[in-house]
Amino acid sequence: MGTSWELTSLLRDKILRYAAYKQTSVSLRQMVQFGPNPSPGSIFLASQFIVEELPIRLALKVKDLENAPLGLSEMPSTIKVKNWYAQSFQELTDLPKPEVSPSLRKLLYSTTKQVSANYEDKNGVTPVSSANIDDIPVAKDPISTNDATNPALNNFYSDDGIVVRHHHHEANEHQTISPLYSHSSSSSSRSRSESPTFGMTYYTSCPINIVWPKEVYDYNKLVCDALLKIKKRHDATVATMAQGVQEWKHEHSTVYVNSQIQTFLDRFYMSRIGIRMLIGQHIALNMAQASPTKQRINSFLNGANANGSKHKANYVGVICTDCNVGEIAEDAIETAKYICEEYYGLFEAPEIQLIAPSNDINFMYVPGHLIHMLFETLKNSLRATIEFHTPRLKQQMIEEDPKLKKEDIDLNDLKFPPIKVIISEGAEDIAIKISDEGGGIARSEVPLIWTYLYTTVSETPILDQEYNQTSFKAPMAGFGYGLPISRLYAQYFGGDLKLISMEGYGTDVYLHLNKLSSSSEPLP
Identified catalytic residue from 376, 425, 437, 521: 376
d(CA 351, CA 336): 11
Task: Give me the amino acid identity at 387.
Answer: E
Contact 143, 230 (CB under 8 A): no
C-alpha distance across the termini of the chain, in Å: 29
Residue 380 annotated as catalytic: yes
pLDDT tens track for 209-251: 888 999 999 999 999 999 999 999 999 999 899 899 989 999 9
The pLDDT score that the predictor gives to residue 290 is 65
Task: Specify whether the CB–CB gap between 133 and 109 falls below 8 A.
Answer: yes
Backbone φ, ψ for residue 285 (5° rounding): -65, -40
For strands 319-324 and 362-365, give the pairing: antiparallel
CATH number for the segment(s) 318-514: 3.30.565.10
Which portions of the chain are predicted below pLDDT 70? 1-3, 111-193, 290-312, 359, 455-479, 516-520, 522, 524
Active-site residue, from 231, 372, 394, 512: 372
DSSP per residue, 213-266: -HHHHHHHHHHHHHHHHHHHHHTTHHHHHHHHHHHHHHHTT-SS--HHHHHHHH
379 is catalytic: yes
Q: Where in the chain is the domain with CATH 1.20.140.20?
A: 9-296
pLDDT, position 164: 36
pLDDT score for 73 = 96
Type of residue at 123: N
- Residue 519 φ/ψ, nearest 5 degrees: -60, 145
Question: What pTM was computed for the model?
Answer: 0.77
Calculated CA dihedral for residues 370, 374, 377, 383, nearest 10 degrees: -140
Cβ contact 333:355 at 8 Å: no
Residues 6+ apart with CB under 8 A from 210: 107
Residue 494 CA to residue 145 CA, distance in Å, equals 21
Report whether 412 contacts 401 (CB < 8 A).
no
Q: How many CB atoms lie within 10 A of CB 330?
A: 16
Over residues 117-155, the pLDDT tens digits come to 333 333 333 333 333 323 333 333 333 333 333 333 333
The pLDDT value given to residue 111: 55
Look at residue 1 in the predicted model and tell me its pLDDT: 46
What are residue 498's DSSP bridge partners?
510
Q: Out of 380, 394, 512, 514, pick the active-site residue.
A: 380
Q: pLDDT value at position 297?
A: 52
**Annotated catalytic residue: which of 231, 379, 394, 420?**
379
- Determine which helix (DSSP H) or strand (DSSP E) holds 513, and give its type and residue range: strand 506-514
Pairing relation of β-strands 506-514 and 319-324? unpaired
* CATH 3.30.565.10 in the chain, residue ranges: 318-514
Closest of 483, 478, 365, 384 to residue 435, by C-alpha: 384
Give every CB contact of residue 392 below 8 A, 6+ residues apart in sequence. none
CB count in 10 Å sphere of residue 232: 14
Q: How many CB atoms lie within 10 A of CB 91?
A: 17
SS3 content of the chain, % helix, strand, coil (to 5): 50, 10, 40
Residue 372 among the catalytic residues: yes
Among candidates 272, 255, 126, 230, which has minimal Cα distance to 185? 126
Contact 175, 201 (CB under 8 A): yes
pLDDT in tens, 183-211: 333 444 444 447 888 888 899 999 888 88
Burial class (CB in 10 A: 0-12, 13-18, 19+), 163: buried
The Cβ of residue 254 has, within 10 Å, a number of other Cβ atoms equal to: 11
Q: For residue 362, give the nearest of 332, 334, 329 by alpha carbon.
A: 329
Q: What is the pLDDT of residue 487?
A: 94
Q: Determine the pLDDT at residue 524.
A: 64
Pairing, β 315-316 against β 429-435? unpaired
Q: Beta-strand (E) ranges in 304-449?
A: 315-316, 319-324, 352-355, 362-365, 419-425, 429-435
Fold exhibited by the domain 9-296: Butyryl-CoA Dehydrogenase, subunit A; domain 3 (1.20.140)
SS3 per residue for 462-489: CCCCCCCHHHCCCCCCCCCCHHHHHHHH
Q: How many CA atoms lie within 13 A of 87 on its CB side?
A: 19
| CB-CB contact of 43 with 285 (8 Å) | yes
